[in-house]
């Protein structure tokens, strides 16, 4: 539920992961270094055969905002659905494991949402 005066709305970020070790650390660091700090990251390993799990475990051990889930390979849609089943945020976004975001991405996102909400 939107809270018009709440500067700290929780943003849930779902990341489906499959054999992304080459890009994953940069992706997760780009999220960890956000100027907007009230977020959670749901990392869903969709049966990776590479070292993605080690990277995910390290981030989840170092920062409680990063939560790790592992499942058998079922495709990106099933990984996203598992992520959606575990979000706790007021807002949800998806980022692919081979992407990274600018440090103010979440701040711009939340400010844009708050400016466009119509309260009746």
8 A C-beta contact, residue 56 and residue 32: no
**Residue 96 within any structural domain of the chain:** yes
- Give the chain's domain count: 1
- Apex 114 CA angle, 1 and 67, nearest 5: 60
Domain span holding position 112: 11-118
Model confidence at 120, pLDDT cuts 50, 70, 90, reads: low
Give how far Cα 49 sits from Cα of 5, 17, 53, 73, 100, Å.
Answer: 45, 11, 9, 10, 22
Q: Among 89, 73, 74, which Cα is nearest to 14's?
A: 89
| Single pTM value for the model | 0.90
Model confidence at 3, pLDDT cuts 50, 70, 90, reads: very low
CATH code where residue 27 lies: 3.90.550.10
Does the pLDDT at position 8 exceed 90?
A: no
pLDDT digits (tens, 9 = 90+) for 18-48: 999 999 999 999 999 999 999 999 999 999 9
Does the pLDDT at position 1 exceed 60?
A: no
């Amino acid at each position: 539920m939107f809270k018009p005066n709440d500067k700290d709305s929780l943003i849930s970020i779902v990341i489906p992961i499959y054999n992304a070790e080459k890009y994953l650390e940069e992706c997760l660091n780009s999220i960890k270094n956000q100027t907007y700090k009230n977020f959670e990251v749901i990392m869903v390993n969709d049966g990776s055969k590479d070292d993605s799990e080690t990277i995910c475990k390290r981030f989840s051990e170092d920062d409680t905002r990063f939560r790790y889930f592992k499942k058998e390979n079922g495709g990106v849609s099933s990984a996203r659905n598992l992520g959606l089943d575990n979000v706790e945020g007021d807002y949800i976004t998806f980022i692919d494991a081979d992407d990274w975001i600018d440090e103010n991405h979440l701040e711009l996102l939340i400010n844009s949402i708050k400016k466009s909400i119509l309260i009746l």
